[in-house]
């Protein structure tokens, strides 16, 4: 696979033309919803004239289609926003452009980022880069696949409960979900505001580090952003690493467990110590997540009423009918399911029993992580319980689909940095990723560790 450095100091127009050709040649994967060709070529020419310079001058990239960006519509893979043209760009996109990077297209996702397979896209699923009968993962499936197919050297995604890490794992690329607040969420369609994060896919840890370094930092337009703490680093020696036993149960695919243990051996060989640790609360993480996140989803999606925002249905004769029809046509089934669950857990009489209780257990989860980080620098486990599953396999069973998120949601609920690194293949040749989780603001250290293992 190509690296960012392979594109630097080359003719930017040629970089863009070739990336767009690769995108068109790989149309069958349905990884991209649109190309931003005209704008990309204009920017490339400006780079070639020396008018735009920077650390990413002339490097093509792709953004998930829930990021507001110029040059194509921003649909969030939904009919609700099918014709929406962004009046501004996401801060993350602006920062990359300020370094000369060139966005060539918008990647497919589960509508409004609700899902883990990209099958919830209103425009059809993305296929796995290694096996077209398997899912790409999600919700940032398109971004993972364009990186894995080497259409572009990096792509942006959002991760609310695993949407960068899981597709990264399914497609054999690195995926970075930073500490909550590392990268501005301004200009990204909101899903669940207390766990939404912005991160990237890249071919290796060094490239991911560069992209995170550029994107990180305080933004006045997102009050949850942290002052810039991300400083590229080299791996420390003799780290104490905890292998989370609760992620290595009999329910986990044997190939996934083996690849995780192989990665543990690499860490040991590099001089780190690895102990098994227990995290009993982890078994509640999914239940907490699927209460808190739908609650926030129901609130964030309330604005799409067909009047102020979003698709407006034809032929309604009353206001109530206009709301109902617009939302019915604009949202996919999974969006509606989450709006209903969220409204239910927030409603009077159920709020205490579900939402409040979930937030309390969430605090216990945070405490348990904090306690583990008193003794350990990094926690490790598989990113997902299985390699990529078959297209259509989990569609009829939402609980089965949600179970695929069991290993990624704990770090999201606690706001911790977590990365998925490609670590091996299943016996049938599907990529398998391993997840590294660290304390808040240890993002650069996690990437440094991944870099040192890649080198070894
Ligand atoms: N698969 C998870 C969900 O459906 C994660 C989604 C995300 O991170 N956007 O909620």
Kindly report the pTM of this predicted structure.
0.98
- Would you say residue 261 has pLDDT above 90? yes
Query: Read out DSSP for 5-46?
Result: GGTTTS-HHHHHHHHHHHHHHTGGG--EEEE-HHHHHHHHHH
Mutate to test the pocket of ligand 1, among 114, 135, 175, 335 (most ligand atoms within 8 A of CB): 114
The neighbouring-strand residues paired with 219 are 222
- Would you say residue 456 has pLDDT above 90? no
pLDDT at residue 257, as a whole number: 98
CA-based nearest residue to 102, from 168, 46, 29, 25: 46
Atom of ligand 1 nearest to the CA of 138: 1
Q: What is the tens place of the pLDDT at every residue in 135-174?
A: 999 999 999 999 999 999 999 999 999 999 999 999 999 9
Q: What is the tens place of the pLDDT at every residue in 174-230?
A: 999 999 999 999 999 999 999 999 999 999 999 999 999 999 999 999 999 999 999
Q: What is the tens place of the pLDDT at every residue in 334-383?
A: 999 999 999 999 999 999 999 999 999 999 999 999 999 999 999 999 99
Q: What is the tens place of the pLDDT at every residue in 47-63?
A: 999 999 999 999 999 99
Whether residue 139 is preceded by a cis peptide bond, meaning omega within 30 degrees of 0, is yes
pLDDT at residue 249, as a whole number: 93
DSSP state of 336: H
Catalytic residue check, 163: yes
Mean pLDDT of 297-305: 97
Domains of the chain: residue spans and CATH: 1-281+379-456 (3.90.1300.10)
From 117, 158, 163, 426, the catalytic residue: 163
Rounded Cα gap, residues 19 and 442, in angstroms = 33
Rounded Cα gap, residues 148 and 316, in angstroms = 45
CA-based nearest residue to 16, from 75, 69, 56: 56
Phi and psi (nearest 5°) for 75?
Answer: -105, -15
Residues with CB under 6 A from ligand 1: 113-116, 139, 159-163, 191, 293, 405
pLDDT at residue 376, as a whole number: 98
Rounded Cα gap, residues 56 and 96, in angstroms = 7
Mean pLDDT of 394-399: 92
The neighbouring-strand residues paired with 449 are none
- Work out the number of other CB atoms within 10 angstroms of the CB of residue 329: 15
- Would you say residue 101 has pLDDT above 90? yes
């Amino acid at each position: 696979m190509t690296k960012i450095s392979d594109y630097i100091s080359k003719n930017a127009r040629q970089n863009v033309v070739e990336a767009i050709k690769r995108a068109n040649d790989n149309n069958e994967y349905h990884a991209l919803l649109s190309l931003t060709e005209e704008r990309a070529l204009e920017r490339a020419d400006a780079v070639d004239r020396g008018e735009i310079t920077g650390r990413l001058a002339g490097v093509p990239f792709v953004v998930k289609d829930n990021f507001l960006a110029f040059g194509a519509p921003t649909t969030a893979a939904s009919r609700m926003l099918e014709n929406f043209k962004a009046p501004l760009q996401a801060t993350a996109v602006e920062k990359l452009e300020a370094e000369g990077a060139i966005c060539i297209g918008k990647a497919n996702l589960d509508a409004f980022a609700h899902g883990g397979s990209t099958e919830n896209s209103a425009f059809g699923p993305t296929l796995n880069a290694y096996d077209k009968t398997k899912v790409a993962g999600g919700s940032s499936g398109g971004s993972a696949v364009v990186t894995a197919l080497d259409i572009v050297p990096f792509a942006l995604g959002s991760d609310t409960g695993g949407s960068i890490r899981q597709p990264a794992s399914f497609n054999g690329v690195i995926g970075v979900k930073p500490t909550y607040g590392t990268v501005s969420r301004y200009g990204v369609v909101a899903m669940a505001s207390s766990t939404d994060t912005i991160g990237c896919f890249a071919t290796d840890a060094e490239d991911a580090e560069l992209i995170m370094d550029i994107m990180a930092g305080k933004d006045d337009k997102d009050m949850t952003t942290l002052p810039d703490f991300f400083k590229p680093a080299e791996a420390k020696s003799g780290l104490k690493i905890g292998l989370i036993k609760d992620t290595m149960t009999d329910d986990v695919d044997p190939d996934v467990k083996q690849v995780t243990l192989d990665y543990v051996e690499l860490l040991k060989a590099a001089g780190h110590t690895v102990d098994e640790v227990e995290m009993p609360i982890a078994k509640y993480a999914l239940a907490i997540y699927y209460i808190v996140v739908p609650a926030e989803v129901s609130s964030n999606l309330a604005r799409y009423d067909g009047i102020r925002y979003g698709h407006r249905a034809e032929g309604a004769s009353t206001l109530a009918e206009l709301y109902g029809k617009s939302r019915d046509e604009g949202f996919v089934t999974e969006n509606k399911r989450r709006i209903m669950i969220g409204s239910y857990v927030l409603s009077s009489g159920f709020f205490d029993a579900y939402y409040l209780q979930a937030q309390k257990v969430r605090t216990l989860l945070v405490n348990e992580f904090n306690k583990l980080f008193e003794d350990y620098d990094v926690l490790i486990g598989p990113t997902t319980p299985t390699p990529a599953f078959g297209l259509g396999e989990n569609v009829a069973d939402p609980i089965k689909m949600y179970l695929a998120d069991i290993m990624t949601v704990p770090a999201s609920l606690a706001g911790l940095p977590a990365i998925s690194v490609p670590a091996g293949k299943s016996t049938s040749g599907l990529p398998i990723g391993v997840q590294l989780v660290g304390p808040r603001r240890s993002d650069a250290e996690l990437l440094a560790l991944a870099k040192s293992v890649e080198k070894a």
